[in-house]
Structure 1
Amino acid sequence: MKEKSLITKFKFGAASLLLFLLFPFLSFAQQAKVNAGIDSTSIKIGEQIIFSIEVETDSTNLVVFPEGQTFKPMEMVESLGADTTTVEDRFKLLKKYSLTQFDSGAYTIPQQKVIIQNREYLTDSFRLEVANVKVDTTRQKMYPIKPAVDVPKGFEFPKWIWWLLAALVLLGVAFYFFRRKKKKQEEVPELPPYEQAMLELKQLDDSSLLPDREIKEYYSQLTFSVRKYLDRKIYDRALESTTSELIAYLELRKKAGELSLKDTSIGNLQQLLKRADLAKFANSRPDVITAKSDRTKVEHFIKDVRQVVPEPTEEELMQDENYRKEKLQRKRRNKIIAILGGVIVAALVVITVLINTKGFDFVKDSVLGNETKELLEGDWIRSEYGTPQVSIITPEVLVRKTVDRNDELQEMLLGSETFDAGTLEGNLYTLLITGPVNPQGDFDLQKAVDGIYTSLEARGARNIIIKQEDFSTINNTEGIKVFGTFNLENPVTGGPIKKEYAILNFGANGGFQQIMVVFNEGDEYAEEISQRIENSVQLKN
């Protein structure tokens, strides 16, 4: 029994020892797994690599991947989303990062920290080589550094212009308010001569000039009323005439039989005017009774004149009505002119400010419009043309064009398709030619390029300047670029139009492809259009 008990104890101890030894391995089997890797160990400057972190863990665990610029000296371009897959009762997460570097050299991507259920795990570090982009000088021509060019200063207005504009604005505002005030004064309707004179006499009676012994002012208003009445009815210079001149004119009209006033009426007016002259200029002070008597004499004189001066005829009234209408139209016309003048001044101020801040070309293009600018800023279209297929982006869709070609190039092709937009004489002209090469012929791309001069000359180009360089499309198709300037006769004026051109030539995919852009020399918008078209060319199989 004792021996059996010892054996049992030994078996139990051995099992416990085995379980103790296996426990760490069983626990480790339940732990998370973290692996990392990169898709390339060497890149060129500016290229990107993919850094991947793979985590395998229990589905209930929380996983936190590194975020931010933790990959220095590498620069994180983009943090891609994590992909999740299920393996039995465990999750497998795959997180990717896009990294790059813009300086050549050897770099080490540091260890990255991954947190799983509050426990930290570190990935491996990786070595990466970043190489310079090599330039093949045998295929890419090298040009000397251009000398420094003095750039003229932008157009600026002198400071005194702004002070002058400010003064003009202030004068315009002052003139506007002055005209407005004068207009309000003129708009007060004036009564007919007799009614107006009676109204002024009544206002004089209601005043306090006589009780206050303001004799001088009283006689001034009294004589003004009678003179104004005579000015409107008989003598249009009665207001500025002296007393003797006015009386002499009335007596002359009476002797001529044109004015049948009584001598007593003229005499009373003469005495009144002389007394008023003494009161105004010699400090004479007639008594109140005399002043009231003179006021009565003025009223009688006005009534006498009204009786002897005939009322205006219908024709005179119509003439007066036409005069008033003409005067009203003149006022309206002056108002319109003033408003237009204000608008013009405001427009000039705005244009001046825009020219000074934005430049003359900006104002010209915005006000008058610019066809090539509108094309550049409009919607561009990518289209595919002909066989072999050419894909380009243009501001306008190229339209198929039928062309009879008898040149040497046509002999090297089985046929060709031509597409264009615009006209050669216009602001922008785009031409595309593509066609399969004749297998029986002797096609030579350089020979086709050499025929460009003859082709341009046949279309009316003169003083042609041709430059040539190698060209490569975005999908690495090699070709030849021909560019330069030429003159074209203006069909309207007969003068020369200076043109710039760029022609891309390819012999790819068993065919010949040519893209030409022609635009006016110095048109920066058209030049940018040409660059965008060149950069978009793709030749497809």
Structure 2
Amino acid sequence: MNVTRTMKHITYVLALLLMVASGVQAQEIKARATLDRDTILLGDQIQLNLELEQNIGPKIQFPQIPDSIGKSIEVLERTPIDTIKMGDRRIMLRQDFLITAFDSGPHPIPPVWFKLKYDQLTDSVHTNSLSLFVQVPKVDLKKGPADIKKPFDAPVTLKEIAPWLFGGILIAAIIFLLIYAIRRRRKKLPLFQKPPKPKEPPYRVALRKLDQIKEEKLWQHEHVKEYYSRITDTLREYLEGRYEVTAMEKTTDEIMAALKYDAVKLDEKSYKQLKEILELSDLVKFAKLIPVEDDNQMTLANAYFFVNQTKIEEKLPEEEEKENDEDNGDEEVTIDLSDKKGRRKS
């Protein structure tokens, strides 16, 4: 008898401990249900949120919400269960449901039950109950039947027009390239070509050719006629570029007559030197004159002098850019009061 009583006492104590442990565990777990708002119009959609706050450890079985709650509330969408860490070894499990109703009046949402298992204990916890009230839109019966409202035009976004915009630009570019290619082909020109180089100033071309003639030493190698022909051709080309005189097609007399115009503004010394070069060259080329060595040297020297005296300094774009980079400041001008002359100081 004593043994039987002892076993009963032990059973009662274990049951009491289990009840206490279950109660403590239930206090650590909090379940709640919320709605975005408790009143909607017929057919509106709102969110039903289920949240379960607990310590890390117990295994929770989320309830399977059917496609309808009660007789009138429909479940349209549901999100996956999300886990949110809250600190102090506590977490929150959350799931959202998109619901609607098409019957007016109050619609109760009963509590939702969660099953939990902790060690060898099995228990359950439930949320609070909710109520959703559905209203019918107010209709003015005095106005009679009204037309169905047309759907609102949604604003056009950049994402919608981007394919059409870029497609139009691409088509326009293709048409332009086709027209460009056809025109170039009709003119027998290459489809793509480099831009022309800036024209070199006439005096540079002339000085470079005179340097070449000097280096080749034509008259020293008994090519006197070619020597004078090359010098006069160089000067004629220079006159065409510098004074726009068609010197290549004119005789010496015609060239000298053209250079007497006021528009040319050729000084007397340069005019005389050019005339001597051209007349001597004519004698060598056509009269078979054999000039002396001094005449050969003087002719080339006079050609250099004529070009340098009559040239106009024209700088190429790359030279102007280089000079601008090297220019570190403006020049200063000081005045010497003793002789009233300006002295430039860099």
TM-score (norm 2): 0.45
Question: Which one scores higher on RCO, CA 8 angstroms, separation ≥ 6?
Answer: 2
TM-score (norm 1): 0.32
